[in-house]
Amino acid sequence: MLDRTKAPEIKEIDAVSLQVAEVTVLPNGVKLHIIKSETQPVVRLDFVFKAGKIYESVKGAADLTAKMLFEGTKNYSAKDIAETIAYYGASFDNTPGYDRTEFTLYCLSKYVKELMPVVLDVLQNPTFPTEEFELLRKRNQQNLKIQRQKNSYLATHSFTKLIYGDHHPYIFGYDDNGLDTIAKQDVEQFYKENYSLAGLEIFACGAITEELEAMLVQELSGLSISGSGSRKATYEQQDKESGSLIVDEIKDSLQSSIRTGTLFPHITHPDFNKLIVLNEILGGYFGSRLMKNIREDKGYTYGIYSTISPKEKDSLFFIGTDVNFQVTQSTLDEITKEIKQLQEELIPEDELETVRSYMIGKFLNNIATIFEQADKYKRIILYNLPTDHYSNYLTTIRTITTEELRSLAQQYLEVDKFKTAVAGKLA
């Protein structure tokens, strides 16, 4: 009989085992990854193309191309596509990224067969109707004007320019009027050059029976996209002066948005997982040092964070916050102070243990569903990581020492080399 007077035994997590995908190379050369789980009668399909911003020759082409695929095909109008998806209670959307563009379908497993004709037609038979393109372009132009009125948007845009240079595809957002010159032929050309079967990865997860698997293999084997996939990733990184500071002056703004940081090693680098732990301590969670100092002690902000954003070519580390413009410089000084402390003093063991417990608990919570496990598996595939990547990640969390963390802070958090952007006022 269960003794409720005793707390359950605490066990340490040594490793994690994610569900392994069944990988099939289809006759058309596309890789289909299937992860099965029948806990819920739902299926997710991800179509991941090498069609991100890094392949653009015209700014905005990747984003507009992905959206235009829903605006009409040879067999379906935009209205037909939307109504069919809605009729079956499904969701079909796209996520244009810096390196890749993803199209994702969520639906009940019993309706996959009915939805596949629409999904495949969207991907392989877009018509790019002129009227819909003009409406979409105007909506995007208007949205850009609204976004560029926000301090946070301007700060992130300027910060990434400082990091990468003025014309790199990893720059966040667009300049003022940055979408005015794009034409329909630019979108059509981007589709022809980048939407192809070469490098396409398809991930299917959820309640996939043998019958449904056979249907998916048959339907996806017939997928034919005429794109050449010939365009190579183009980017030119400019080495801006270390310690660069740019201020987007907003005359009547009472707040300032701050972005400051530097480049970090690629996700495959041996130090990457260790740097995730260091970042967590500095500003990665609500109990971080930056939150305790700048939010709780100083009261400068409602929230401050630091994050590591991995991409296919590198990783970007930055700290972000919004503060009253009068304490902008004081906030930057306090950020520097916290980083210097990490470089000079050992982190107390009890603080490190708290972070360890938090990170392991958060990781376990983030693999609770089959879709979350599929996301972890997808990252392994797209970044070409070893299969034991997440076990190594947990081992790093458990075994990293305070001496290692201090050394990492000294090596990678060189404040003198940080680049900083402020949108608002620098009092």
Q: What is the pLDDT of residues 321-369, one digit of tens each?
A: 999 999 999 999 999 999 999 999 999 999 999 999 999 999 999 998 9
pLDDT of residue 19: 82
Does residue 200 sit in the same domain as residue 271? no
Does residue 309 sit in the same domain as residue 195? no
Identify the domain containing residue 335 by its residue range.
245-424
Does residue 154 sit in the same domain as residue 60? yes
Residue 63 placed within a domain:
yes
pLDDT higher than threshold 90 for residue 241? no
Number of folded domains that form the chain:
2
Residue 7 placed within a domain:
no
**Distance between CA atoms of residues 37 and 270, nearest Å:** 33
User: pLDDT band for position 305 (50/70/90)?
Assistant: very high
Q: Which residues pair with 77 in a beta bridge?
A: 72
Does residue 288 sit in the same domain as residue 163? no
Does residue 410 sit in the same domain as residue 284? yes
Nearest to 61 by CA among 155, 128, 143: 128
Residue 1 placed within a domain:
no
* Residue in the block written with tokens 């069944």: 22
**Distance between CA atoms of residues 125 and 76, nearest Å:** 9
Does residue 217 sit in the same domain as residue 255? no
| Residue at a domain's end among 206, 221, 236 | 221
Q: What is the pLDDT of residues 173-212, one digit of tens each?
A: 999 988 999 999 999 999 999 999 988 999 999 999 999 9
Q: What is the pLDDT of residues 289-302, one digit of tens each?
A: 999 999 999 999 99
| Residue at a domain's end among 221, 256, 290 | 221
Does residue 261 sit in the same domain as residue 399? yes
How are strands ordered across the β-sheet holding 31-36?
A: 22-25, 31-36, 201-206, 42-49, 101-108, 91-96
DSSP annotation of 145: H
DSSP assignment of 70-135 equals TSBBSS-BHHHHHHHHHHTT-EEEEEE-SS-EEEEEEEEGGGHHHHHHHHHHHHH-B---HHHHHH
Q: What is the pLDDT of residues 378-415, one digit of tens each?
A: 999 999 999 999 999 999 999 999 999 999 999 999 99
Residue 137 placed within a domain:
yes
Does residue 71 sit in the same domain as residue 136? yes
Residue 13 placed within a domain:
no
CA 328-332-333 angle, 5° bins: 115
* Residue in the block written with tokens 């243990």: 353
Residue 159 placed within a domain:
yes
Residue partners of 74: CB distance under 8 A and separation at least 6: 121, 125, 127
Does residue 293 sit in the same domain as residue 360? yes
Does residue 273 sit in the same domain as residue 152? no
Residue 381 placed within a domain:
yes
In terms of pLDDT, which residue wins out, 62 or 5?
Answer: 62
Structure-block tokens of residue 276: 């995730």
Does residue 167 sit in the same domain as residue 277? no
**Distance between CA atoms of residues 349 and 67, nearest Å:** 50
Does residue 322 sit in the same domain as residue 174? no
**Distance between CA atoms of residues 426 and 186, nearest Å:** 40
Chain-wide mean pLDDT for the chain? Answer: 92
Q: Which CATH number goes with the domain that contains 29?
A: 3.30.830.10
